[in-house]
Amino acid sequence: MSQKIRTRFAPSPTGRMHVGNLRTALYEFLIAKHEGGDFIIRIEDTDQERLVEGAVDIIYRTMAGTGLVHDEGPDKDKGYGPYVQSERQATGMYLKYAKELVEKGEAYYCFCDKERLESLKTEVAGKEISVYDKHCLKLSKEEVEEKLAAGIPYVIRQNNPTEGQTTFKDELYGEITVDNSELDDMILIKSDGFPTYNFANVVDDHLMEITHVVRGNEYISSSPKYQRLYEAFGWESPAYVHLPLITDENHKKLSKRCGHSSYEDLLEQGFITEAIVNYIALLGWSPEDNQEIFTLDELIEKFDYRHISKSPAVFDIVKLKWMNGEYIKAMDNEKFYDMAMPYIKEVITKDLDLKKILDMVKTRIEVLPDIKEHVDFFEELPEYDIEMYTHKKMKTDSAISLEVLKEVLPMLEATDDYSVDNLHDIMMKYIADKGIKNGTGLWPVRTAVSGKQMTPAGAFEIMEVIGKEETIKRIKVGIEKLEAAV
């Protein structure tokens, strides 16, 4: 008889949502939903300096867009609110809990100023290291009261023992033990009265009855300190699930520099939400079978956090593109038209059958913006080199192409039916009568009407779309070009 699982996504509103954060949110959502549990959103805005306006909206938009629907959050209070830490802070609760620890000797007031702290820094191996020396722990109760009364700025620090060890258990990594001497006296309450993440997350996770704390691997080394906090309060610690990092191609923690590091960046690059979610779900987790394409519901059903990997994963945009292409191919046409229309309209302004063109392109693109380079020739015949008429495998060269175009032109002028079927009949009859292979007859025509080496469809389909007038015009251009060269 186990209790209902409760996980939380606790982002700080500092900008766009990084894919690492998104994946954390996804896994938190999946772990809860797989077991029919609750998924909670808590806004961790304790760093007032890094706050970015509108960032909370981005969080909501991302969650809604990806389908990670929360059961509780700032907008859905189920009795554990408020769900925004600045609002919680305003109630004085964090300070109250911190004082409780001070009473117990598990924390202490610290009045050290910037200069003194600065003097504690030492440089080791090119990095600045600073370990607090418990200077203020020596202060007597009276001295503390005095300084407090005098209004001297203070922080409250955790009082960690210098001997012994602390152990916590991660669901993936197992038991992790560190010497207490490694644990520095981290700040619980900052001088502006706000709690640090380190403190607030422990208090809130407990108060909100979070059963599984799921977070990035970067927190694994601070977890022993959190563990000591739980023990100091006498609270039962939650199950911990630390997630492996997502890195760039150089195996470094994904940075904002990558340009493809946030969910919104990806959308702007023409990726579709379902593909992004699907792809990141597989970055650090794999199902028991070899399935790769998942709907969110399928992920909920299949997701078992015990199969999460322990080693970091490289974010591979090439595979994401492949997956995006799979989603596009499987997408129903109406939805594809809706999504693709803005892109095709960037390059085609003429009154052409855009849906027909989009049908041609659907299996050939990986991201939406790819459409443009495939279809721009419909708008206007590009400048092209007559070398394109020469193709060994098609058995064509300039002379043959000129001959074909000249012979085909009158036939195309003679009909008004520019349907693929009719065009097909005309051309195939010509090819049969002349006794040449299909490619020999069609290559020159396709080249003339497109001006491109590669096109998303064959000659008939292109002619149907651009129509009689434009077809004739382009074939004449081809004839002129070829004649000029002979």
Partner RNA sequence: GGCUCGUUGGUCAAGCGGUUAAGACGUCGCCCUCUCACGGCGAAAACACGGGUUCGAGUCCCGUACGAGCUGCCA
Q: x/- binding map, residues 49-78, to RNA, per CB under 7 A?
A: xx----------------------------
Binding to RNA (CB under 7 A): which residues in 407-446? 438-439, 442-443, 445-446
Q: Which is nearer to RNA, 114 or 257 (CB)?
A: 114
Residue 306 makes CB contacts below 8 A (sequence gap 6+) with 171, 172
Residue 465 makes CB contacts below 8 A (sequence gap 6+) with 352, 353, 356, 357, 378
CA distance 480 to 476: 6
Q: How many residues bind RNA (CB under 7 A)?
A: 89
Fill in the amino acid letter for 160: N
Binding region for RNA (CB under 7 A) out of 127-135, 139-147, 202-210, 344-352: 127-135
Q: Which is nearer to RNA, 213 or 282 (CB)?
A: 282
Binding residue for RNA (CB under 7 A) from 160, 196, 261, 324?
196
Query: Is residue 153 within the footprint of RNA (CB under 7 A)?
Result: yes
Here the tokens at position 64 are 């809604």
Compute the least distance from the CB of residue 204 to RNA, in Å.
Answer: 11
Query: Is residue 152 within the footprint of RNA (CB under 7 A)?
Result: no
**DSSP structure class, residue 73:** B
Binding residue for RNA (CB under 7 A) from 307, 345, 395, 429?
307
Q: CA–CA distance from 425 to each of 400, 412, 478 (Å)?
A: 21, 11, 22
Compute the least distance from the CB of residue 155 to RNA, in Å.
Answer: 5
Tell how strand 121-124 and strand 246-247 pair up: unpaired
Binding residue for RNA (CB under 7 A) from 3, 103, 127, 392?
127
Residues 333, 370 contacting (CB under 8 angstroms): no
Q: x/- binding map, residues 242-261, to RNA, per CB under 7 A?
A: --xx-x--xxxx--------
Binding to RNA (CB under 7 A): which residues in 385-404? 393-394
CA atoms within 13 A on the CB side of 89: 21
Residues 27, 67 contacting (CB under 8 angstroms): no
Binding to RNA (CB under 7 A): which residues in 448-467? 453-461
Compute the least distance from the CB of residue 79 to RNA, in Å.
Answer: 23
Binding region for RNA (CB under 7 A) out of 93-101, 138-146, 239-247, 332-340: 239-247
CA distance 293 to 299: 9
CA distance 188 to 155: 7
CA distance 129 to 124: 7
Query: Is residue 173 within the footprint of RNA (CB under 7 A)?
Result: yes
CA 422, 428, 434, 437: dihedral to nearest 10 degrees?
150
Binding region for RNA (CB under 7 A) out of 95-103, 138-146, 169-177, 263-271: 169-177
Based on the residue annotation, tell me whether 468 is a catalytic residue of this protein. Answer: no
Q: Which is nearer to RNA, 37 or 195 (CB)?
A: 195
Torsion angles phi and psi, residue 251, rounded to 5: 65, 25
Query: Is residue 304 within the footprint of RNA (CB under 7 A)?
Result: no
Compute the least distance from the CB of residue 209 to RNA, in Å.
Answer: 19
Rounded (5°) CA angle 30-32-36: 110
Binding residue for RNA (CB under 7 A) from 301, 316, 353, 380?
316
Residues 101, 158 contacting (CB under 8 angstroms): yes
Helix axes 438-450, 420-434, angle to 10 degrees: 130
Compute the least distance from the CB of residue 121 to RNA, in Å.
Answer: 8
Q: x/- binding map, residues 339-358, to RNA, per CB under 7 A?
A: --------------------
Compute the least distance from the CB of residue 218 to RNA, in Å.
Answer: 3
Q: Which is nearer to RNA, 66 or 455 (CB)?
A: 455
Q: CA–CA distance from 169 to each of 180, 225, 238, 271 (Å)?
A: 16, 13, 9, 38
Query: Is residue 359 within the footprint of RNA (CB under 7 A)?
Result: no
Query: Is residue 169 within the footprint of RNA (CB under 7 A)?
Result: no
Fill in the amino acid letter for 74: P
Question: Among residues 256, 329, 350, 434, which one is catalytic?
Answer: 256
Active site residues: 256
